[in-house]
Chains A and B, each alone.
Chain A
Amino acid sequence: MRLIKKIMLGLLIILILIQFIQPIRNNGSMISSTDLTKTMHVPENVQSILKIACYDCHSNNTNYPWYSRVQPFGWLLAKHIRNGKTEINFNEFGSYSLRRQISKLSGIAKSIEKETMPLSSYKLLHKNARLSEEDKTLLIGWATRTKDSLSMNH
């Protein structure tokens, strides 16, 4: 019994200590000149879906939930954001080569179609990010049309 108590106490102390290790927050400049919406025409309804469901991990500005202050959840979030931004950063979309923009748009359409994005762990806590069938059709349609028009001008 005493051993279990000691272990529990040890875990509690670790849990308290890790709260002091807060990851750097992803809050860059508000809207950069290379943002997707500054680079090409994006319909309002598509913009709002992207901002609600994608920008938290795929831009330089995250709208943080309260639990991001609680570790280890904050670390997990920071890791998702880091990976998300490497995959695609909507704030920097304009700086990608045309070829890469086309690839990214095709990736957006595919990942939404196959429901690999938004991540299910993200959707669990963000009701807004659970895309309806209409939202999906809208996004896929937009990404595909934009991709095709970029490819034609290439």
Chain B
Amino acid sequence: MLFIAVTMIFTSCGNNSGSSNESITKTNDSSSQSKNSNISETKSSTAISDVVSHYLHLKNALTNDNGNDAASAAKELGSTLTKVDESTLTPEQKKVYDDLKDDIKEHAEHIGANGSNIEHQREHFDLLSKDMIDFVKATGSSTTLYRDFCPMYNNKKGAYWLSETKEIKNPYYGSEMLKCGVVKEEIKPKG
């Protein structure tokens, strides 16, 4: 059973007054998830949580405006992705993973190769984050994650990212606008 508590918080950037909160709680039954805890699955789920932790490392590097650190985190993300054992995934998870893996790999490579061009890294981070959100939703997370939204990025079309902290620290603008953004969803760990 996987419980996803969805917390929508309606606030806008640079506007601290009048925030109305609304909580919706959704319950998702994921009985299709394998309960076998053999060794290979443990390895694979370690790889999956490693992918997530390298993504979070990358996110924090961008938050700190550190392109080189972001590049090395992205390279690790790319190499960890190859360690995910597809045979341990359920058919549904595999379908999502197959669609995602090439794209994740490519964004990771671009971020890895552009340590001196943080703006370009952030463009790929936007697309990578979309992938990672779907990745985490399909495989489940081992820790609580927050799906955050920055309404200003992409010519005000907005962009999402995943964070391990409830406090907003914006990876798209870094120190320029660190507090800009809202928590859209809380993703609870599976189990």
Contact = CB atoms under 8 A, between A and B. Distances in A.
**A and B bound?**
yes
Interface string A71-115: 000000000000000000000000011111001001000100000
B86 interface: no
Contacts of A103: 103, 106-107, 127
Contacts of A96: 102
Given A103-B106, A103-B107, A97 B127 contact: no
A94 to B, nearest CB: 14
A98 B102 contact: no
Contacts of B106: 100, 103
B155 to A, nearest CB: 10
A100 B123 contact: no
A110 B127 CA distance: 12
Contacts of B103: 97, 99-100, 103
Contact size range, B: 10 to 19
Chain B's interface: helix, strand, loop or mixed, by majority? helix
Contacts of A100: 102-103, 106
Nearest to A101: B103
A110 B100 CA distance: 21
Chain A's interface: helix, strand, loop or mixed, by majority? helix
A99 B123 contact: no
A106 B128 CA distance: 12
A97 B123 contact: no
B92 interface: no
Contacts of B127: 103, 106
Contacts of B131: 99
B126 to A, nearest CB: 9
A100 B106 CA distance: 9
Nearest to B134: A99
Contacts of A98: 99
A117 B3 CA distance: 45
Contacts of B99: 97-99
Interface in A98-142: 98-100, 103, 106, 110
Interface of A: 96-100, 103, 106, 110
5 contacts: A96-B102, A97-B102, A99-B99, A100-B103, A103-B127
